[in-house]
Every structure is written in structure tokens, then in C-alpha cells.
Amino acid sequence: MYNDEKNLYHYTYRKDGAEPTLGETLHAAGGQSGPRGPEWEEKPVKKNRLGLKITALALSCALLGGAAGGGAVWAATRAVQSESEINVSSRPVTQVALRSVDGKTQLSDAEIYAANVNSVVSIRTSATAGYNFLGQPVQTASAGSGFVMSKDGYILTNYHVVKGAETVTVTMYNGDEYNATYIGGEEDYDIAVIKVEAQELQSVTLGDSSTLNVGDHVLAIGNPLGELTFSMSGGMVSCVDRAINVDGTPFNMIQTDASINPGNSGGPLFNQYGEVVGIVSAKYSQSSNGTTVEGLGFAIPMNDVFSMVKDIMTNGYVSNRAYLGVTPQTMNESWAAQYHYDVTAGVFITYVEPDSAADKAGLKMGDVITKVDGTEIKTVEDLNLAKKKYSAGDTATLEIYRPDGAVTVEITWGAAPKEEQTQQQEPVQQKPNNWSDGYSGGNGNVDPFDMFRYFFG
């Protein structure tokens, strides 16, 4: 018989093979009654009772300690949970009032956005940049912004946004898309007017850019990066009447620290009343070496171009752009030494067009223009910038240096010849230097990898 009790093992046998009696079993287990045990038995192994007691005591203490510790942790957690309460606001969502722009009431940023976002448009253009090795046209695409000037679909943007475009697509805030027609533009002022066939569009309200002060709050809405459509950024006016020079063309700009990025070009700049006071030009938010800079944005003052915009909408070109009628040259020390002049800065007149504004005012070859209405003129760029403030028919006072003495001349600005005015009626498509105008049998500048890309993508 095999017995297992308290890890003690007893093996009891009888000679006749029968099961042992109860008394024999008890005697084998250490009992006092019954017959003697079997012929052979294995004595029980005595255990270290003291070690077992100590172990049991340790386990009991551990269990009790764990229970007590767990209770303490539970109590502490309950205390922390009761103290760490999260406050959730029950304030309802603020409803932005749709306010009208009246030029008298200052609006919040959200109200300005709500009042004008339907007047802002996203512009996408495409053009043929050239032809690949197989004579196939290569298309390019670009993006910009603009804003609605009139209910019948006239839209104002930058000239460089649509320059060279073969197709112009306009997208409204509600998702409506239109194919736009180029009406006209003025590259020297970087403005262009396009038109879509639509009626009852929401137009912007134009403001007086001359009322801006440094520190005024301004907002820009546009299409940054060509992807983040109808985004608004804000900042302050950093400078008014900032003269900058881009590729030899002078511009009078509003400087702002509002975030301006590629794709914002042509979009509106709003004052605190929700009026458009400038046309954003991201093209000029770069350093002189072409590196994009931070915290510098520029916009064309609305007052500088308003009359030209109306002229373009009416005639398709700027018919009243101020025109002097001279061939100018920037004066320098070498010219002064050659002609024995006492001035080394100004605009040297090398030719006067017959019957022009300059001719009628008595200007002649060899004169040096030094001031226009008190504004100092040192270079041709200075003269062009000063001329932008006038329209045909306006008058101005010029200070002229002549070898026999300085003179003051009163002039009435003329209008540029029609052929010069209309040369910008269609934007001139620009092709990169590494493209030929078509397949030329291997002549011209052609990308050698075009065939590889054609076959292998």
C-alpha cells in the first residue's frame, strides 16, 4: 500500500501478499496498538519543524505586510484621485458674426476673415516651359492668390502670378472653379487683372493705404505654398513707403511681419476695418541673393495702383502711365570727369524725344535730373520710382543741373505711346535657359536626360 500524507512515505508489505490490517498500518505509522509492523518498512524522514515554522511566519508577515501596503497604496491613490480633478469648460462655441465692411467699424480678426474669405480666390496657372528631347511640350504649373474687384468677375492679382500662363484657373472659397481670361497688366507695378464669367460675386472693399501707420494690425488671406488654400496670417505694419529694388525695378511697398509665403502673391492685405489696403507680393520676401527670409513680407499700396487697375479694367491696359520721353543714364564719377560736371549723382539725359513731355518742358541732352518735387534722384531707379507716383497730365517740378548753372523746370507728365502701353497686354511667357523653343535636331540647349525620363519615368 502506498500512502502519501504530509510528504511522508510508508511502504508496508505482508508475506502472504494481503493488505495490511488497520492496526498494522497504524503501528507502521508510529501508533501504540496493533501487532508489530511488517517484515520491512522505511522509517519516516523527520523534517526541521523549526525552519518550517519560521518560513510560515515569514510568509504570514509578508502577506500581512502586502495587504497593509496595498491598502495604503489604495488609500493614497484614492486621495490623489480625489484631489486631481480636471476642469472642463462648458463655454459654448463662439459664433462669429458676419459683419459688413463699412470703413468705420473695427472688426475682430475672425470677423474680417468671415467678411472677406468669399472674395479671395486661389489661382492656378499652367504653361509650356519648352520641349523635351523628342519634341514633346513640357508643362509647368504655378499657384497664387487674388481677390474679386467687382461682382461681374474682375479679379486683381500680381503680374508675375500670371506671367507666361497659357491657362489660368480660379477657385472660389465654396469650391466653384472658373477658367479666367487675362485682361491686362502692368509689369513695372506687378499688377494684373483677370476675369471670370460669373455674376453676383462678393467683391472686397478697398481702403486708403495712406492712412496706415507703423504698428497697425494687418491681415493677409491667400494660398500659401499653393496647397494651404484660404489661410489667414496676421502681423503689424513694419514700415510704410519702403523702397525696394527687385531685378532693377524699384517698388514702393508696405512692409509687414505677417507670414507671407510663395502662393500668397496677389492676395489682399486687410486693415483693421476689413478693407484691402495692399496687394501681397511674396516674390519680394527674399534677400538680395534669393534666400527666403523670415518675418519680412511686402505688399503693394492700393493707392499706388488703384487708377491703373481701373484703367486696365476699362481699356485692357494702362493708358495714363506717366511718361517723360528721355533716354536716361545714371550719373557717376567717370561721366562727371568726362564732361567736367560738378555732380556725380543723378540722371544724365542722353536723348530727348521730340514733342515729348521733356521736350515741351525744355529739357535737353546733357541735363542731369537731381530732384523731382523735392525727392532726391541719384539713379535711374530713383527716377522710375518717383515717376510711379504720377499719372499722365499730372505736373511736377524737376531740379536740373547744367554746366552753366542749376535750373528748375515745370513739367506735365505725358502718356506713354500706345504701342508701349499695350506691349504688356499679354504676359510674356518665360522659358528656362536650358530649354530650346522646339526640337532642333540636337541644336540648342536640351536636357540630356529627357530620353531616359521618357522611357523609364
Query: What residues are labeled active site?
Result: 160, 190, 265
Helices (H) and strands (E) in the chain, counts: 10, 23
Closest Cα partner for 293 from 255, 254, 329? Answer: 255
Reduced to 3 states, what is the DSSP secondary structure of residue 9?
strand
Tell me the C-alpha distance between 163 and 310, whole Å: 20
What contacts 66, CB < 8 A, 6 or more positions away? none
Tell me the C-alpha distance between 128 and 138, whole Å: 6
Cβ atoms of 309 and 154 closer than 8 Å: no
Tell me the C-alpha distance between 349 and 364, whole Å: 7
Tell me the C-alpha distance between 190 and 266, whole Å: 9
Tell me the C-alpha distance between 271 and 252, whole Å: 18
- Bridge partners for 407 per DSSP: 400
**172-178-183-185 Cα dihedral, nearest 10 degrees:** 40
Tell me the C-alpha distance between 121 and 155, whole Å: 8
- How far the first Cα of the chain sits from its last, in Å, is 88
Tell me the C-alpha distance between 198 and 118, whole Å: 14
CA dihedral (331, 335, 336, 339) positive or negative:
negative
Q: Alpha helices, DSSP H only, in 89-168?
A: 109-116, 159-162
Tell me the C-alpha distance between 258 and 236, whole Å: 7
E-only strand ranges, 313-388: 322-323, 326-330, 347-352, 368-372, 375-376
